[in-house]
Each structure stands twice: as C-alpha cells, then as structure tokens.
C-alpha cells in the first residue's frame, strides 16, 4: 500500500527515481528488533548490507541492529565511511582477496572464514598487521530445509564442509581467535522453515563444539527471511520465528543476518508511461527506465507489484497490461498481464518492494540511459 508520503514524492520526483521511505523503514526495523529481542537466549541482528547499501537506508537500519555484515572490501570501506569507526562489522563472502583480508584484519570486528586455505591467508594478514583476528568458520551445514535461493546443504562454493571445519580447528593458527560458527544456507524461507534451518545450524554447532571440546561464543544462523512479492501486504512473522528457534536461556549468542526482509518494503522505483501499445491482442505499457534499474523481477522471476498514479493526460486503457522498460530486449519486463483499472501515457507508476536487491543488482549501464534519481523521504533523510 503506497503511503501519502511516498505518493507525494512519487508525483514530484524527477524520473525515473528510487524513493526510500526512511520513516517506514525506521518503524519496520523497530518492530523487528523488538520481536527478535523478546524471548529466552540472546539474539543479535547484523544487517546484510548487500541488500541495500544506500547511506540513508544504512543509517536508518543501523539504529536498530547490532552490526553490519559486509561481503567485499568495497562494502567494508563504504559502511565505515557512512556509519563511522564504532559500528561492529562482520566481513564475510567467498573469494576474499589478500587486500580484502588485510582490510578485514584492520577494520572489521570479525571475519567469516570460508575455507581452510582462507584461515591460513587470514592468519598471514593478521600477522602482517600485527594483530589477532576474531573469526567464525562458515560451514556448509548438512540438512538445510530448502528455500528459494539455496546456498548450502548440498554441493556449494559457500563455506566449508564439516570435515574441513574439523581440520581448521586441528590447525588453528595463533593469530586467529575462534568465536564460533557461521552458516547461511538459503533465502526465501517463511518463519517456521527459517527457524527450523536455524535450529539445524545451532544443533550442528553444539555437536561440533562438544566434539572438539571448545566453547563457541557465537553462532550465526544466517538471513533468508521471506519476502512475498506476490502478496506485498504480507510480512515475515518475526515473533513466530523467534519463538520457533526455541533458544535456551544460556546458550551461545545467536546472530541473524537478514537483508531482504528488512529493507524491501521501504523502497519504491518510480517511473512513467511513455507509450501504450496493443500487440497481438495484448496491451503493453512502455515505461521510462526498466530492468536496468530494477532487475529484481527478472532475477527472481516475479511480477513487481505496482501502483498507477493517474498523473497523465494521454490515452488510457484498462485491463491486463504488461509493463516493460526501454531496453531492446524481451527480458525487460517488470510485470506481466496485470489487471489494472487504468494506466495511461504520462501516468506515473510506482513499483513497490524495491528496497532490497534492486538498484544495486541492476545492470544500469546497459544502453546508457540516465541513472535514476535517489529521493529519501522521512525523518531520517536529513541525517544523510
């Protein structure tokens, strides 16, 4: 549902534009943080900055989380730049370069290590920096529960197999302080499935610690909370998720690492209709911009939900319409055969759920159209 604040910004913005509603994000984050912090045990939230590293989004999210997860040297530098030296940062991701490991040793609070070789390379980086590094072993824990975007629980370039984790413990270099275990097995899970996956990781980590006679201070059970693009009013049930984790009072610190379900609902991609065309019996609305700004529907294979703002004075139609962009490819489709009461030339169209994995995953240089404007509305916007 488009709010008055976003609708006003959408009517006034230079087009195309991303509109970030930071008031909405602030309230959404407050509710999530309250749900996650209620119950037995300790749960921390690290925001996966890859979902949306916009400075206004980062600053707003940061008020409600315990730290930020970054997955590249670029994200590390950006997050430090935007949020300053004090925000706790966890550095993860596969294929870290020597430069990234060196930066992580100096500027990150903990590193999620992806392989046995990477443990050795991180130790060398720590030695060169004259420091010890806090690390968690990212493990491809067996027995994940599915999900839309699977990253573990089977053959995977992410993390290490359990036997490799055993080997890492046997040869842990003195420069590495082992904090715990990290896993992120899949994305797109509802509350019960996501909690079941978290429990699988927690149980595995407890058995791993017992087998080696070590204490684990932290277990990261990943992100992956579902965003339902077909039902934009639905929300991940954070309270049910928290309860279903069934945490003991005195276990290790549990950390979750969500991205999509935090920021998706607070971002809008706004454009306008340049042309309306009937082709072989079907209506097409051709919009300024397209999937080079909002790649999400192509990447995930859904129709991006949208609201039509009747701002145009050109011809209009009603009925099923396929909304496309300006690119010379049949893949440039934002939504297919969606019934509408009205869409017309000059009308503005505001695509919802564009606050995560949207602009930053898009191939924005293709065809050299101008980039979208960035408009931040809401209380936090003036702090950026």
Ligand X SMILES: Cc1ncc(COP(=O)(O)O)c(C=O)c1O
User: For ligand X, which residue of 225, 276, 308, 335 counts as binding (CB under 6 A)?
Assistant: 225
The reply on whether position 159 binds ligand X by CB under 6 A is no
Question: CA dist 174 to 121, 123, 143, Å?
Answer: 13, 8, 32
Measured from the CB atom, is 39 or 94 closer to ligand X?
Answer: 94
The reply on whether position 114 binds ligand X by CB under 6 A is no
Residue (of 350, 361, 306) closest to 20 by Cα position = 350
The reply on whether position 184 binds ligand X by CB under 6 A is yes
The reply on whether position 187 binds ligand X by CB under 6 A is yes
The reply on whether position 67 binds ligand X by CB under 6 A is no
Reading the block at residue 238, the tokens are: 């954070």
User: For ligand X, which residue of 22, 33, 51, 185 counts as binding (CB under 6 A)?
Assistant: 51
As measured in angstroms, the least distance from the Cβ of 222 to ligand X is 5
The reply on whether position 28 binds ligand X by CB under 6 A is no
The reply on whether position 298 binds ligand X by CB under 6 A is no
Reading the block at residue 318, the tokens are: 């009603």
For the chain, how many helices (H) and strands (E)?
11, 18
How would DSSP label each residue in 44-81? Answer: EEEEEGGG---HHHHHHHHTTSSEEEE-SHHHHHHHHH
User: For ligand X, which residue of 56, 180, 198, 224 counts as binding (CB under 6 A)?
Assistant: 224
Residue that has been written with the tokens 């080079």 in this structure: 292
User: For ligand X, which residue of 80, 260, 293, 364 counts as binding (CB under 6 A)?
Assistant: 260
User: For ligand X, which residue of 9, 19, 32, 48 counts as binding (CB under 6 A)?
Assistant: 48
Stretches 73-81, 95-103, 223-231, 270-278: which one binds ligand X (CB under 6 A)? 223-231
Measured from the CB atom, is 222 or 378 closer to ligand X?
Answer: 222
**Active site (annotated) includes residue 287:** no
Q: Which residues contact 196 (CB under 8 A, 6 or more apart)?
A: 145, 244
The reply on whether position 92 binds ligand X by CB under 6 A is yes
Measured from the CB atom, is 67 or 325 closer to ligand X?
Answer: 67
Question: CA dist 202 to 144, 232, 335, 382, Å?
Answer: 12, 31, 39, 41
CA triple 334-340-346, angle to 5 deg: 70
Reading the block at residue 18, the tokens are: 């991303």
Stretches 124-132, 169-177, 254-262, 290-298: which one binds ligand X (CB under 6 A)? 254-262
Question: From CA 352, how far away is CA 115, in angstroms rounded?
Answer: 38
Stretches 12-20, 115-123, 259-267, 285-293: which one binds ligand X (CB under 6 A)? 259-267
**Sign of the Cα pseudo-torsion (172, 166, 163, 245, in order):** negative
| Residues belonging to the chain | 384
The reply on whether position 222 binds ligand X by CB under 6 A is yes
The reply on whether position 259 binds ligand X by CB under 6 A is yes
Residues that bind ligand X (CB under 6 A): 48, 51, 69, 92, 184, 187, 222-225, 257-261
Catalytic residues: 328
């Amino acid at each position: 549902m488009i709010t008055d604040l976003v609708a006003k910004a959408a009517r006034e913005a230079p087009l195309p534009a991303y509109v970030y509603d930071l008031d909405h994000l602030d309230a959404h984050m407050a509710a999530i943080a309250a749900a996650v912090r209620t119950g037995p045990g300790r749960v921390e939230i690290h925001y996966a900055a890859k979902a949306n590293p916009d400075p206004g989004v980062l600053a707003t999210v940061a008020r409600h989380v315990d730290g930020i997860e970054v997955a590249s040297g670029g994200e590390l530098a950006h997050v430090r730049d935007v949020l300053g030296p004090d925000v706790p940062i966890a550095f993860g991701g596969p294929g870290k370069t020597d430069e990234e490991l060196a930066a992580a040793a100096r500027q990150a609070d903990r590193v999620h290590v992806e392989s046995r070789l990477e443990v050795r390379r991180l130790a060398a980086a720590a030695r060169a920096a004259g420091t010890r590094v806090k690390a968690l072993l990212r493990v491809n824990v067996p027995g994940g529960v599915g999900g839309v975007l699977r990253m573990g629980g089977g053959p995977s370039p992410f993390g290490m197999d359990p036997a490799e984790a055993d080997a890492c413990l046997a040869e842990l270099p003195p420069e590495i302080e082992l904090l715990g275990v990290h896993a992120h097995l899949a994305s797109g899970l509802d509350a019960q499935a996501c909690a079941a996956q978290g429990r699988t990781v927690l149980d595995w980590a407890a058995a791993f610690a017992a087998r080696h006679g070590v204490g684990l201070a932290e277990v990261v059970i990943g992100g992956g909370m579902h965003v339902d693009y077909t039902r934009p009013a639905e929300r991940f049930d954070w309270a049910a998720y928290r309860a279903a984790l069934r945490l003991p009072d005195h276990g290790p610190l549990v950390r979750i690492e969500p991205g999509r379900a935090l920021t998706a609902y607070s971002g809008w991609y706004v454009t306008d209709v340049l042309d309306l065309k009937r082709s072989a019996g079907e209506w097409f609305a051709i919009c300024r911009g397209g999937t080079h700004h909002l790649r999400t529907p192509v990447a995930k294979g859904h129709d991006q939900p949208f609201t039509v703002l009747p701002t145009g004075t050109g011809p209009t139609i009603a009925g099923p319409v396929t909304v496309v962009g300006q690119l010379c490819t049949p893949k440039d489709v934002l939504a297919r055969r969606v019934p509408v009461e009205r869409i017309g030339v000059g009308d503005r169209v505001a695509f919802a759920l564009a606050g995560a994995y949207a602009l930053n995953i898009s191939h924005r240089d293709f065809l050299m159209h101008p980039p979208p404007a960035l408009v931040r509305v809401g209380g936090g916007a003036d702090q950026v």
